[in-house]
């Protein structure tokens, strides 16, 4: 299966046609009322996308949780729990949210309605954020947000391309957000905004960037500015959907990337790889830099494990919108 940042595979187009027929039939069953979405007791805000991985959903969910909490709302997060390890309640993204927001109510499971009902039964909530929910039409949402990776917004359907469903599905979205705009020119963004506005029935998309915010040195923790990476020799280690974006971010910060080791998305980095990366960093007079997701799945505490530096990122809007656009009706 291709991912964002890879080239489409034309040889698989016949399979994409078959896949597309299935997607259209499923969407039609909801559109004409043969299948109905089930509603949770509290408003639901869905954050999703058309493509597989790497559009910036997790930083966007973090931003929403911060926004809702700042307004005094009790928020919970609901997700499928993709690649969750057997016996674990949360996958790496859920554990990352738990580290960032201690005590944050979360539930994960393939049946988002059942998991959501459990979440509501266990916690008094004002709003639920449904992570990666655009295609999960079995659950009613009060605000449907679709993220679009601006540098590579569209393409073919799976498995030849990276789209989960056709671009015309954007008409379902209440709000579209172009992410990672920092990687586009102004002309590219202008053209994309115009096209997405048409696809969304005249609703103009918001534009956001994914920015590095701080570096957390561990064991510790010791927090420093991202400027501390300028001119610093670094060894990158990550198991994420878009490792090349991680590499570009480090270089934009002025880091001297002397080595990089990228593993399959969501995979657990083996102890031997950690040890080798730490040794290579020390021998090369470099520091080991990882992502927040990799830190969440590593199994170390803030005071244990090899020397490592976590590069934190965040979603930022280019033009700050009215906060009401990100709130479901009635909240």
299 within a domain of the structure (yes/no): yes
Burial of 153 (0-12, 13-18, 19+ CB in 10 A): buried
- E strands, 10-152, where? 44-49, 75-79, 106-108, 127-131, 143-149
Identify the pLDDT of residue 185: 96
Q: Which of 72, 44, 137, 131 lies closest to 327 in space, CA to CA?
A: 44
Of 226, 251, 227, nearest to 310 by C-alpha is: 226
Residue 180 clears pLDDT 90, i.e. is over it: yes
201/225 same-domain check:
no
What confidence tier does 218 reach under pLDDT thresholds 50, 70, 90? very high
CB 289 within 8 A of CB 251: no
Q: Say yes or no: 200 and 78 in one domain.
A: yes
What is the mean pLDDT of the segment spanning 167-194? 96
User: What confidence category does residue 10 fall into, taking pLDDT thresholds of 50, 70 and 90?
Assistant: confident
Reported as a pLDDT band with limits 50, 70 and 90, residue 135 is very high
Mean pLDDT, residues 215-229 taken together: 97
Q: Which of 207, 237, 266 is the last residue of a domain?
A: 207
Give the pLDDT score at 1.
42
pLDDT of the residue at 9: 73
Band the pLDDT of 8: cuts 50, 70, 90: low
pLDDT in tens, 243-287: 999 999 999 999 999 999 999 988 889 999 999 999 999 999 999
> Structure pTM?
0.94
216 beta partners: 223, 310
Domain that holds residue 268: 213-316
Examine the fold and report which residue of 160, 188, 207 is the final residue of a domain before the chain moves on: 207
Query: Is the model's pLDDT at 63 over the cut of 70?
Result: yes
- Cα distances from 96 to residues 63, 69, 81, 158, 267, in angstroms, run 13, 17, 12, 28, 14
Instruction: Provide the β-strand partners of residue 308.
Output: 218
Residue 131: which CATH number? 3.40.50.300
**Which DSSP string corresponds to 63-124?**
HHHHHHHHTT--EEEEE--TTPPTT-SS-HHHHHHHHHSTT--EEE-S-HHHHHHHHHHHS-
186 plus 222 within the same structural domain? no
Q: Which residues contact 91 (CB under 8 A, 6 or more apart)?
A: 79, 81, 82, 83, 84, 85, 108, 266
Residue 125 lies in a domain: yes
> In this structure, is residue 14 part of a structural domain?
no
Note whether 50 and 181 are same-domain residues: yes
Q: Kindly state whether residues 236 and 196 are assigned to the same domain.
A: no
Percentages (nearest 5) of helix, strand, coil residues in the chain: 35, 25, 40
pLDDT of 6: 54
The answer to whether residues 119 and 43 belong to one domain is yes
- 201 and 243 assigned to the same domain: no
Kindly report the average pLDDT of the chain as a whole number: 94
For residues 155 and 273, the model is more confident at 273
Does a structural domain hold residue 20?
no
Say if 322 falls within a structural domain: no
Last residue of some domain: 163, 185, 207? 207
Reply yes or no on whether the pLDDT at 169 is more than 80.
yes
CB neighbourhood size of 95 (10 A): 20
pLDDT value, residue 2 = 46
Residues 106 and 151 in one domain: yes
For residue 86, CA distances in Å to 82, 108, 118, 295 come to: 11, 13, 20, 19
Identify the CATH number of the domain in which residue 276 sits.
3.40.50
Structure tokens at 10: 């034309």
Predicted confidence band at 155 (pLDDT cuts at 50, 70, 90)? Answer: confident
Which residues, 6 or more positions from 68, have their beta carbon under 8 angstroms from its beta carbon? 75, 126, 127, 129
């Amino acid at each position: 299966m291709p991912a964002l940042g890879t080239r489409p595979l034309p040889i698989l187009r016949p399979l994409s046609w078959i896949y597309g027929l299935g997607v259209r039939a499923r969407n039609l069953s909801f559109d004409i009322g043969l299948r109905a979405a089930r509603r949770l007791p509290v408003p639901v805000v869905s954050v999703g996308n058309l493509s597989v991985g790497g559009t910036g959903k997790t930083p966007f969910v973090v931003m929403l949780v911060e926004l809702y909490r700042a307004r005094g709302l009790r928020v919970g997060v609901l997700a499928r729990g993709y690649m969750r390890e057997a016996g674990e309640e949360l996958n790496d993204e859920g554990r990352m949210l738990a580290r960032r927001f201690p005590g944050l109510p979360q539930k994960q499971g393939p049946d988002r309605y059942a998991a959501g009902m459990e979440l509501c039964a266990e916690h008094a909530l004002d709003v639920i954020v449904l992570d990666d929910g655009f295609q999960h039409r079995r659950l009613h949402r009060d605000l449907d947000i679709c993220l679009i990776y601006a540098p590579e917004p569209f393409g073919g359907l799976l498995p030849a391309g990276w789209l989960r469903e056709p671009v015309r599905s954007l008409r379902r979205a209440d709000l579209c957000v172009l992410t990672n705009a920092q990687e586009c020119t102004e002309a590219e963004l202008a053209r994309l905004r115009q096209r997405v506005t048409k696809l969304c029935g005249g609703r103009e998309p918001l534009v956001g960037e994914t920015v590095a915010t701080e570096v957390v040195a561990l064991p510790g923790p010791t927090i420093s500015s991202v400027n501390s990476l300028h001119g610093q020799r670094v060894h990158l280690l990550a198991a994420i959907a878009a490792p090349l974006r991680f590499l570009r971010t480090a270089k934009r910060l002025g880091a001297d990337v002397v080595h990089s080791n990228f593993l399959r998305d969501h995979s657990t980095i083996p102890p031997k790889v950690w040890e080798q990366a730490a040794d290579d960093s020390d021998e090369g007079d470099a520091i080991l830099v990882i992502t927040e997701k990799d830190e969440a799945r590593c199994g170390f505490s803030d005071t244990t494990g090899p020397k490592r530096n976590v590069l934190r990122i965040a979603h930022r809007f280019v033009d700050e919108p009215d906060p009401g656009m990100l709130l479901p009706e009635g909240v």
